[in-house]
Structure 1
């Protein structure tokens, strides 16, 4: 069954399209090298990794379409765990960053998926749960990464001020509240901009795909907005949960700010 998917003529056609798209990506890598941006290694690895992962996921989903619904729950759980593991790198050095990411993504994405299944917006089938659930989890991961990265930067940049205010006896939660707010707002900027431009500048692929498949354009637009609202809700709940948890873990029992370990790009402790 798995090999039959790769024998499909459309897969061969798709590889040719991948080659063309990859050439455009190579141009970006070349410009990075010429401009000494030092991004070509990370970008190249991410590009190859993304291709391998998405092809593998496509093959797995093709097999999962023929199995029982319960398997989709296991797949989504695995996706949440992997998303938390990837997202933690953006907050590398932050206390309990993996635990925070796992709880935040599971909470934000989980609530949205369960609620929208109950509302009928996501059909309780493998064919719908895994692709749509994956989109929600991925967006929650991206928002979580942005929130952690911003929070870490805010704390490191304002460490002296935070410690001075703590020394005056101000509760840690109050001291950190402004940085929590700033981090959550920053993490939601891409999603807010997407909503502002929806239908004017940004015409999402799902809406286009539904229209090309013969769906009513108005319904396609409505369902696309539902998807965007789900992504926004999942991202918002995730970033708020993660940053608030990090804010708690950032202090010792004596209400002192913990040291944020310096980490390299791959998440290892800096020498």
Structure 2
């Protein structure tokens, strides 16, 4: 099954429905909805054009790896835009994304879950980085908010002689729970409550349903591992930056929403 340009144009009716409901309720989100749809369409068409070049048999796989590197850099920059209140988030987010991507791809390609090629490398890396970015930004924001709100409690622990790592541990746990809970709930609801995108796309494309299910299972586990890895790296790295070498809590401005 394929979708032609006319079908894609007709799907804009759905965007109009969303904008119309925003207008009806007076939400003031009409421009944001239209802009988001236009931007997504342009970006996806651009990526589609690049993938056409990358998937050519004569194209070296190194170009795909270069594209993955570009995605990592762009994701780290985007994390800074979404969480400007998190100190020095770019190198920390980049480290988290690289660790999650390297670990996930090593399992998938090293154990032969998927064959290594441009057709698998770029989409899988995009899934890892995209989902990890959302969890990482959430973890960074929550860390700043938690350490700002609970500053008195943390300083009381420090005053009692606890080292910074021990004083921060209960709050880091809370941040990790908050950051991972959405992905855990999504994983639990997959299949019964909703059919995820990868599985739906494969079925619409004519793939065998069982094969589509198996691919989706791998993707869900992949996303869960990526979110867990990146939030852990972000929380541990940021918790160290929120304390001075002599175990004092630095003063922070609350991260912007």
Q: Say whether the fold is shared (TM-score over 0.5).
A: yes
**Residue from 54, 60, 66 that aligns with 2:50:** 60
TM-score scaled by length of structure 1: 0.84
State the Cα deviation string for residues 108-149 of structure 1 (Å, max 9, x = none): 122102221112223211112111221111011111111112
Other-structure match for 1:4: none
Unmatched runs of 5 consecutive residues or more in structure 1: 1-7, 266-271
1:259 positional shift: 2.1
Other-structure match for 1:269: none
TM-score scaled by length of structure 2: 0.88
CA distance in 2, matches of 1:205, 1:21: 17
Other-structure match for 2:246: 254
Other-structure match for 2:210: 218
**Aligned Cα root-mean-square deviation (Å):** 2.4
Secondary structure at the counterpart of residue 16 of structure 2: helix
Mark the CA change 1:146 to 1:28 in structure 2 (over 3 Å): closer, same or farther. farther
Q: How does 1:132-147 map to 2 (within 5 A)?
A: 132-147=124-139
2:228 pairs with 1:236? yes
45-54 or 106-115, which moves further after superposition? 45-54
Mark the CA change 1:249 to 1:56 in structure 2 (over 3 Å): closer, same or farther. same
CA distance in 1, matches of 2:205, 2:40: 27
Mark the CA change 1:48 to 1:165 in structure 2 (over 3 Å): closer, same or farther. farther
Secondary structure at the counterpart of residue 4 of structure 2: helix
1:44 positional shift: 5.5
**Residue from 152, 158, 162 that aligns with 1:160:** 152
CA distance in 2, matches of 1:42, 1:251: 38
Other-structure match for 2:13: 20
Show structure 1 runs of 4+ deviating over 6 A. Answer: none
CA distance in 2, matches of 1:95, 1:190: 24
State the Cα deviation string for residues 140-188 of structure 1 (Å, max 9, x = none): 1111111112112111111122122222221111111112111111111
Unmatched runs of 5 consecutive residues or more in structure 2: none
